[in-house]
Structures are given as structure tokens and as C-alpha cells.
Chains A and B, each alone.
Chain A
Amino acid sequence: MAASVDTAKTVGALGADEYKYGFVTDIEAVAAPKGLDESTVAFISKQKGEPAWMLDWRLKAYRHWLTMTEPDWAKVGYPPIDYQDAYYFSAPKKAGDGPQSLDEVDPELLRTYEKLGIPLREQEVLAGVAVDAVFDSVSVATTFKGKLADMGVIFCPISEAIREHPDLVRRYLGSVVPYSDNFFATLNSAVFTDGSFVYVPKGVRCPMELSTYFRINAANTGQFERTLIIADEGSYVSYLEGCTAPMRDENQLHAAVVELITHDDAEIKYSTVQNWYPGDKDGKGGIYNFVTKRGACRGRNSKISWTQVETGSAITWKYPSYILEGDGSVGEFHSVAITNNRQQADTGTKMIHIGKNTRSTIIAKGISAGRAQNTYRGLVKALPGANGARNYTQCDSLLLGDRCGAHTVPYIEVKNRSARVEHEATTSKISDDQLFYCRQRGLSAEDAVSMIVNGFCKQVLQKLPMEFAVEAQKLVGISLEGSVG
């Protein structure tokens, strides 16, 4: 834990008025030529050393993508993306088969990680956290593989899993998010370059929190991660995902797919603290973040909880979804979405209740400031067989300033009479009374706002594993800078 806390402290200390991760590393990169066609897909597959069935799957997805049209119904407005004007694969060159230990990792890379506040060496020695550090579409170092392997836990880059554990991958890849699911997921299925693969065997409680850091570096490289996490019967795993990105002028595309599967009595806890570059005060240059995340509670009494803090991205389009198939399964969604300046977020969740006696809780907190637009869009659906389904949803929006907007659009579909669905939403601002009370006790207006906003988010932040919670709190403060006054 200690090193992770250190990491968080370092991360926190780096925060201030400027986006501190705004730097670029000069590393030789192997890139596919610009543009996207079947040969790009083949190039990626070859670079990854994939078996034929994997290339086939990618090509099926690519061909399907050509028949699809981009969705445009969200409230976000963005200039059209030219999919041919981007690089789809950029990986740091590696000598031989890749690093066997940290000693073999390119020292430039290690220095980059240090700047990011990930003292890998320290982590390996002190921490209980295994880190799969994703850098420009290739996982460079994976620590603690050995220890996890003893317990039968597989935690490795997905490209490795495709090679080393093909049966598992074939069984589960695309089983929760089929390649034809939606425009961005289909694109991802064709050109995904890396991501994490986790398999926890029956009855195993993964002893450490698994975490991954992402970073987008080379200009115009969209990052397409594919993550697959499987918790077998009676197992438990907690996965942390935290991201940073450097300053760029061109918008960068991020279209990830995450699939989670829980079997009987298993539990996956997935936490995200996202800190993409949001664009400057005029909204220029930030990350486009279109993510498809879905969890299937296949087994009885299984549970998936998603906790996320979103504070970056020029545009965020993200709806983690839950399929509550197993009887008694539970879905929990806790989210804080913060938008400032000219950011736009259209996020929410979908809970599909299928099995009997399933339960879901949605707590979504949105904070808008500057000229930002923050929309919660959620779906709670109880299918005809969902006897005894229970949902409780609470969406609260906080507006800082009078030029931003907060929108709540929940869709509720109940097809079973014994299902009970409750939804509440409120929108408000920080009351003058609250502000005055804090100031009369000696706190500055900025500190007061920060404190009240953190109080507003507390219900969600306290769901995060401790080290993330600290980083998240600082992130909340940084993202709202300039919004008071």
C-alpha cells in the first residue's frame, strides 16, 4: 500500500494551475502508416504476433464497421472525426522479445514513468500492487506476474493472453460486448492494440489491487484498449484504472472496450479515476473519450461495482452497463462527472435486470462549471422475468456559475410487476448560506467551494480504494479551478 500512497501523493503534488502531465517523451516509435483499411488491421495483428482466428475476428469487425454510421444523438457537439487522418498503431520499438525485467526496460521509458509518478521499482519492492503499465499501445512492464501466477491469477496484457491463453480469450472476448455492438466498439474490435486481461480462478480472492496506467503519446494516435476481466466462481478482484495524457493541439480519440464477467458468487470491483486533458479554456485540443464498458453478472449472487471519477476529456461518451442475469446478482454504479470550461460530458449507466431478485444502485453526481455541459443519461430496465428486481437511482447535479448546464435523462422501463424502481434527481447550486457559513469560519471562498464540492461527491469518493480516493479528491479540486468567482 505504501508505494501506492506515495504515488498518489506524488500525483497530488503535481497538480496545480497547469495540467502537469503536459509533456511528451521522444522515443523511437514503430507506426502503421496513417489511415485505416484492411491492411492496417493485418499490420496490427502481425505486430502483435496473433493467431489466425484473432485476425479473422478483427477483420469481421472492420468489415462490419464500414457498414455502420456514427451515432449523433447525444447532446455533445464535436467536429467530425476523420478516421483516415490518424495513426492506428504506434509502439515503442523493442529489442528482441521485450523486457524480462525492469532492468531491461528502456531507461527513457522508466524516466517517463517516474515523471508520471509511477515508481515501478519501488512498487515492485514495497507495494502490494501489480502494475501493467500501458504506454502507447504496448504493455512494457508487468510486475508481480509471478506471485499472482502462484495463485492461478492471470494478469497480463491482452496481447499476451491471446497468445498464451487462447481458450480463455476465445470463450469470453466479445461475449459481453459483441463486435457489432456499436460504432466505437466495432472500431475497437478491429484495431485494439492492447489492454489488460485478468482471470481469477474459482474461490480465489485476488490479494492485491490490480492497476493500470494509460497514456497516449504520439500525435494522432487513437488509443484503443481492450480489457477483459473474468472472475470465476466465488472469486474476487479489485481493478483500478487511472489515466493521464499530455497536451496536444489535435484532438485525440480514445475508444476503449471493457468486458467484465462474474460467475456464481464472484465479485469484480472496478474503479476509474480519469484525468484526460480537457482542452484549454476554449475547448481546443482535448481527448475524445468514447468508451463501451459492460459487465455481465452471469452467475447467481454475483456482483459488479463500478466507481468512476471523470474529470477530463473534451468529450466523454461513456455508459458502463450491467447485465444482471444471475439470480440475486447485484450491480452498483457510483460516479462523479466534472465538467469545466467548455467540456461536454454525456455519461450514465444502463442496468438491465434479467434474473430474479436482482438489485442495482446508481449514485451519479455531476458538477458543471464554466460553460460546460454535463448530461446524465441512464437506463434502468426490468425485463419480464425479473421478479423482485430492485433499483434505486439518485442523480444530483451541482452547478457552479450561471453559464453551464446540467441535464438528467433517465429512461425507466419496467416490464415486471414485482420489480421496484425508484429514481430521484436534484439540481442545485452551492447555496449562499453554505458559502457564507464557511467564510465566517475563516475559510476562503475557493476553499469553501472545494470543501462543499468534495462533500457533495463524498458518497462516491468513499467507494474508491484509498489511494485512488486521495488522488480523486485532488483531481476534483484541480478540475474546478477558475470556476469560482
Chain B
Amino acid sequence: MSIATQRAERADRFRAAYLDQAAALAPTLPGHGVGWLDRRRARAAERFAEIGFPSRRDEAWTFTDPRPLTRAVLAPAPKRANGVDKTALSRFLPAGVEAHLVVFVDGHFRADLSALDDLPEGVRLGGLAATLTVAPDCMKRVLDHDADAADSGPVALNAALAADGAVLRIADGVALARPIAFLYLASGAPAAMHLRNVVVAGAGARASLIEVYGALGDAAYWTNAVTDLQVADGASIAHLRIQGEAPAAFHLAATRARLGMKGAYRRFALTLGGRLARDEVSARIEGEDGDCRLDGLYLGRDRQHLDTTTVIDHLAPGGASGEHYKGVVDDRARGVFQGRIVVHPDAQGTDAHQLAKALLLSETAEIDAKPELEINADDVKCSHGAAAGEIDADALFYLRARGIDAERARHMLIGAFADEVIERVAEPALRAHVHDLAASWLASAGG
């Protein structure tokens, strides 16, 4: 049997195994029996049956091969008490920040670890499983939409299998004083966690959201997280994402944001963990004068493969978007940045800019970038820039000529490189937290 045939067979077996899993688990999922939800899960399973996992031949996955993930079929972890207590949480969250907190362990909501007291009027925060069990129809508008038809394999599988996730709903005009934190911990069991998160910000609402992924043990588990964000007219959401999965883990995340008129969405993603991690963001600016900022820093070492893929669709006039991503890649790691900006014909007056830079620290590190512009309106200002290279020799020499030793000089320059994008985290306490995480990574980076 040729290798190609072997691979095809394995892909089919793999696909079949997950479909069996979906069929077996369906009756146990929250909201089972609710017509639209059952139909939706069935549609998702059909979609996965049709397309399976993506491959290098798919344009969107040309630099990232998800095959390592398909070497085992991972089942969701059972919900059980596993000795995780509140003291374990603090190291994953920014110091000195009093956030409203929902915690998930191995993909299951843990009320005992969460902090839901003193939620302001007009704010609902909790787990998806509970919401679907108790009041499923309030999730219909967000979950039951036809974007499904274009979903990738992992996203379709998530729709079929997700049993839990975070749900945040903010009523019109409510401005939250304290941030909201979603914390996802893996206990170290080699399981699959399909998480479905929903954030709905009403007109004029304001909130700061922190999304953290962390691990209590190293194992080849799989986090498959899909997040749907709706930013209504005039609402403003700041979103900090910290991905610190275990070194052997797989992390596939898809975030879909929709912005209404004058809606603002600012996201910063710090990517540190996982053997294979992909942070996919799709932002649709649907209302006039929307503002979307996507920034991030990814730090890769050993044999990590860290992929950041973004698409910003400007569908209405007057929108502004900005992207600033930096990557530092060491050892045999590989960083991937794909950023597509699409300006649709009606989106006159769009201002869209993108900058992606990467630093290679070792002989064997690798960077792939594909910044894409698709412009169909003419009264726009759009640009992108991408650069990759190593530490500037002139800058290094300058520092050394002032008496700083080579090692320290390198660290200073790499730190400065990363800081430039970390500056874009608006809140000081959060910025400091990101800075600390990056600094400790850098301290142990290759010399």
C-alpha cells in the first residue's frame, strides 16, 4: 500500500472514529432534545463527515499541518473532582486584578472554583452547559447561524461535541468596572476539550475580558475552542488572551467577532504553549465606523509550531482596523502568521493597516508569513508590512560598545522587540502581567 493510500485510510478511520464519538455522546450533551440544537449538532457532524480535518492542500493551512493531531483519537474528559483547588489558580491570573471569574477544568465548568459574586446588574456570566440546560433558546441567535457552512473541520467537530464553555452577556449600556476572566485548565489527562464560548455585548456596553489557557500537567491533550463575540452598536470590548498550554498539547482556537456600528474590539493574544497551536481570528466589521485592533506576541521554542491566522472583513464604510503581531522563534520552532484584510465594495473610507515582524534566534528556527490584502473599494487607505530576520548586528554592537556584555545585549534587544507590541495592552495591570510572562520566557531563551 502506498503512503498516500495509508494516509488516506488513516484519515478515514480517524474521521469515522470522531463521528462515532459524536453519535455516542449526542444524547448526553446539554440541551439534548431541543430541536434547533439537535439539528445544528447533526449538521455539524455531517459537515465534519464531509471534510474531515484540513490538510496542507487547503490554502488556509498551507503552513500548518494538523496531522500530528490526528495520530490519536481523543475523547472528552469525564467530569470529576480532580483535586484542583483555588490555590492552584492564582499563578494563571494577573496579580492584583479582581476579576469576575469562570473556571473550567478539562473542559467542564467548576462553580466551586469560580468567582461570580457581585456581578453588576445586566451582566450574566456562567457556563454554557448550564445555560443550554436551563434556557437554551437564549443562545439560539448566537449559536444557530449559517456561518456553519464554511466552518473548518475542527470547528464543525466542536459544534457537534462541545459540552461546555463560557457565556457572558452584557445588557445595553452596562459598563463593567471589573474585568471578566475565563480560565481553562488542563489537569494533564490526555483528553479532548471542545469548548464553546459566547460573548454578547449589548449596545454601548463596555467590558474587559481575559481568556487564559493553562496546564497543571504535561500531556498530549487537545483544546478545541470556538468563541463567538458580538459587539453591538457602540459597544467596546478589550480582550486579552493568554495561551499557556502544556508543551505537548494541541490547541486550536477559532474566534469570530462581529462588530456593529461604532463597535470597538481590541484583542491582544500572547501565545506561549502547545506543541501545535493555532489562534484563528475572524472579525467582521458589519456596521459603519467599526474599529478592530488585533495585536499579539508569539514566543516559540523547542519544536513548537505556533500559528496565528487572522481575517478582517470590512463590510461597511468608515471602518478602521489595525494589526500588529510580533514573533520570536528559537530552537527548531516554527512561527506562522497569516493575516488577510478584505475590503468589500461598500466599505469606502476604510483605513486598514497591518504589521507583522518576526525574530529568528537559532539556525533551525523558521518563519512563514502570508499577509494578504483583498481590496474591492477604492476610497481606502490600506497597507501591510511583514519582516523577518535576526537581531540587528549594528544594534548589538552599539550596546556592547557601551560596555554591555553580548548575552545581556541580546536579551535587551529581544525584550525591546517584544515590548513594542506589549505596549498595546491598554490596562497597566494586564500589560505588566503580559510583560512578566514574556520576560520569563526570554530569560530562558537560547543564547
Spell out A's residues near B (CB within 8 Å). 73, 384, 397, 399-429
Contact = CB atoms under 8 A, between A and B. Distances in A.
A400 B378 contact: yes
B262 to A, nearest CB: 23
Contact of A421 (B348, B372, B379, B388): B388
A420 B389 contact: yes
B257 interface: no
Given A399-B378, A416-B363, A417-B362, A409 B372 contact: yes
A409 B311 CA distance: 13
Contact of A418 (B381, B383, B386, B390): B390
B370 interface: yes
B387 A427 contact: no
A406 B375 contact: yes
B335 to A, nearest CB: 9
Contacts of A418: 389-390
B368 A414 contact: yes
* 9 interchain residue pairs of minimum CB distance: A420-B389, A399-B378, A417-B360, A412-B369, A429-B378, A405-B376, A426-B383, A408-B373, A427-B382
A442 B63 CA distance: 53
Contacts of B367: 412-414
Nearest to A369: B378
Given A402-B348, A405-B375, A429-B379, A423 B385 contact: yes
Contacts of A408: 371-373, 384
B365 interface: yes
A417 B384 CA distance: 22
Nearest to B329: A417
A399 B388 contact: no
A419 B329 CA distance: 14
B60 to A, nearest CB: 12
A427 B361 contact: no
A183 B361 CA distance: 39
Contacts of B380: 427-429
B377 A402 contact: yes
A424 B368 contact: no
23 contacts: A384-B363, A399-B378, A402-B378, A406-B373, A407-B374, A408-B372, A408-B373, A409-B370, A410-B369, A411-B369, A412-B386, A413-B366, A414-B358, A414-B367, A417-B365, A419-B360, A420-B388, A420-B389, A423-B384, A423-B385, A425-B384, A427-B373, A429-B378
Interface string B385-420: 111111000000000000000000000000000000
B388 A419 contact: yes
Given A404-B376, A412-B369, A422-B386, 14 more contacts: A384-B363, A399-B375, A404-B378, A411-B369, A412-B370, A413-B368, A414-B358, A417-B390, A418-B390, A420-B388, A421-B388, A422-B385, A425-B385, A429-B378
B345 interface: yes
Contact of A73 (B59, B358, B385): B59
**In this complex, which of B358, B381, B386 has the most chain A Cβ atoms within 10 angstroms of its Cβ?**
B386
Nearest to B368: A413
B363 A423 contact: no
A49 to B, nearest CB: 42
Contacts of A427: 373, 375, 380, 382-383
A469 to B, nearest CB: 28
A410 B388 contact: no
Contacts of A421: 386-389
Given A403-B345, A423-B385, A410 B370 contact: yes
Contacts of B362: 417
A397 B375 contact: yes
A413 B334 CA distance: 10
Contacts of A411: 62, 368-370
Contact of B389 (A73, A401, A415, A419): A419
Contacts of B369: 410-412, 423
Contacts of B370: 409-412
Contacts of A405: 374-376
A425 B378 contact: no
A363 B376 CA distance: 22
B134 to A, nearest CB: 47
Nearest to B343: A427
Contact of B387 (A397, A415, A422): A422
Nearest to A387: B363
A425 B383 contact: yes
Contacts of B377: 399, 402
Contacts of A73: 59
B89 to A, nearest CB: 38
B388 A414 contact: yes
A424 B384 CA distance: 6
Interface string B238-282: 000000000000000000000000000000000000000000000
A40 B316 CA distance: 55
Contact of B366 (A397, A400, A414): A414
A414 B360 contact: yes
Contacts of B378: 399-402, 404, 429
A88 B59 CA distance: 34
Contact of A410 (B63, B376, B383, B386): B386
Contacts of A413: 63, 366-368
B371 A425 contact: yes
A61 to B, nearest CB: 24
Contacts of A419: 360, 388-389
A410 B371 contact: yes
A222 B438 CA distance: 59
B215 to A, nearest CB: 29
B259 to A, nearest CB: 21
Nearest to A377: B372
Contacts of A425: 371, 373, 383-385
A407 B59 contact: no
A407 B375 contact: yes
A10 B63 CA distance: 50
A425 B369 CA distance: 14
B306 to A, nearest CB: 15
**In this complex, which of A404, A414, A424 has the most chain B Cβ atoms within 10 angstroms of its Cβ?**
A414
B396 to A, nearest CB: 13
A426 B382 contact: yes
A146 B142 CA distance: 78
Contacts of B62: 411
A183 to B, nearest CB: 16
A412 B388 contact: yes
A397 B343 CA distance: 14
Nearest to B376: A405
B363 A417 contact: yes
A210 to B, nearest CB: 37
A362 to B, nearest CB: 13
Contacts of B382: 426-428
